């Protein structure tokens, strides 16, 4: 495997395990101001490849999470997601630790 390559994910279980040990990207979908879905994928996952999705259900009329589930999205990572990140892994952000850039 070349440097920077991710191991090929063969099944849902290996996908779950791999995300705990890799850099990931996420796309969050809101419904009425509440998080509905969080799609998570390895940084180098190609468009259309399956990714993980967490779905949230809320107690009616509140912002309290009632249920959630984590599954594989066979629809896959979409082309318009995560295209405008500006993080540079070689740059020091917040060097003085005050929480501002």
3-61 pLDDT, tens digit each:
444 445 566 666 666 556 678 889 999 999 999 999 998 888 899 999 999 999 999 99
Q: Decide if 1 is inside a domain.
A: no
Q: Decide if 85 is inside a domain.
A: no
Rounded to 5 degrees, what are φ and ψ at 71? -140, 175
Q: What is the pLDDT of residues 52-90, one digit of tens each?
A: 999 999 999 999 999 999 999 999 999 988 777 788 888
Q: What is the pLDDT of residue 38?
A: 95
* C-alpha pair distances (Å), 7 with each of 18, 43, 66, 85: 8, 12, 34, 23
Q: Decide if 53 is inside a domain.
A: yes
Q: Decide if 68 is inside a domain.
A: yes
Domain span including residue 22? 12-73
What's the total number of domains in the chain? 1
Q: What is the pLDDT of residue 82?
A: 77
Listed residue (85, 73, 64) closest to 29, CA to CA? 73
Listed residue (45, 55, 37, 57) closest to 15, CA to CA? 45
**For residue 40, how far is the Cα from the chain centroid?**
2
Q: Find out whether 63 and 71 touch, Cβ atoms under 8 Å.
A: no
Q: Decide if 99 is inside a domain.
A: no
Q: Decide if 28 is inside a domain.
A: yes
- Show the tokens assigned to 84: 């405008």
Q: How far apart are the first and last CA of the chain?
A: 36
């Amino acid at each position: 495997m070349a440097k920077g390559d991710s191991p090929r994910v063969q099944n849902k279980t290996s996908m779950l395990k791999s995300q705990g040990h890799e850099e990931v990207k996420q796309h969050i979908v809101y419904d009425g101001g509440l998080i509905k879905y969080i799609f998570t994928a390895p940084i180098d996952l190609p468009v259309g490849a399956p990714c993980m999705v967490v779905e949230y259900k809320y107690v009616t009329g509140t912002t309290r999470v009632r249920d959630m589930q984590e599954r594989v999205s066979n629809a896959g990572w979409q082309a318009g997601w995560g295209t405008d990140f500006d993080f540079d892994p070689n740059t020091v952000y917040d060097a003085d630790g005050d929480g501002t850039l």
